[in-house]
Amino acid sequence: MPGRKPKPPLLMDNNVQKLSKLVLDQRTESWNKLEVEKTLKCPGKLSKPAKKEWKRVMRLYDQMKVSILSDLDQRALIVYCEAVAAYDAAQHAYKEIIENSPEKIAGDSATVLLDMMDRQSKLIAKQSEQLCLTPVGRARMGIQLHKVEKEDGISELLRRKREASQ
């Protein structure tokens, strides 16, 4: 049975984990090696709707102020974008069946489309978490707000006094 997913070193509370300095340094070093600086390019083999989703998602990643994607994630992002495109196409076709011939809703084509939408939605949900497109995925990667230590009363008073005198 797999254990817990690892936390980024910045979010680890050593009072809870009780790790040695050597282990913490190793984790920090390996985490720093994962940092990414370049942007992924949209592959030409994607379908047109998948390319549209790729561009939408990459714009959102650019707004996150955290580089989390590398070339290693390209395949997962391709799968996600194609799944979104397939889901949207199946949803559009199902909607047309409902609007044009409501008596065929229980037919084979409607069932096939519903099955396809179900499979694609499961794939989208799985890839979304892996790519930090969900709140849970972002929290696991530590992209949410870092722990903010509250000032004690005296520190806050001194800080306010310094700010007032400047």
pTM of the model: 0.65
pLDDT in tens, 56-105: 998 888 887 666 777 778 899 999 999 999 999 999 998 888 888 766 66
Whether residue 107 has pLDDT greater than 60: yes
**Nearest to residue 151, comparing CAs of 138, 136, 163, 166?**
163
pLDDT in tens, 8-65: 555 555 555 666 778 777 777 776 666 665 567 888 999 999 999 999 998 888 887 6
pLDDT in tens, 122-157: 999 999 988 888 887 777 666 543 444 555 667 777
- Let me know if 138 is exposed, middle or buried by CB neighbors in 10 A (0-12, 13-18, 19+): middle
Amino acid residing at 140? R
What's the pLDDT at 116? Answer: 95
What's the pLDDT at 146? Answer: 40
| Dihedral pair phi/psi, residue 165, rounded to 5° | -80, -15
What separation in angstroms does the CA of 127 have from each of 62, 63, 76, 113? 18, 20, 7, 21
Q: Where are the domains of the chain?
A: 19-145
**Nearest to residue 48, comparing CAs of 82, 75, 74?**
82
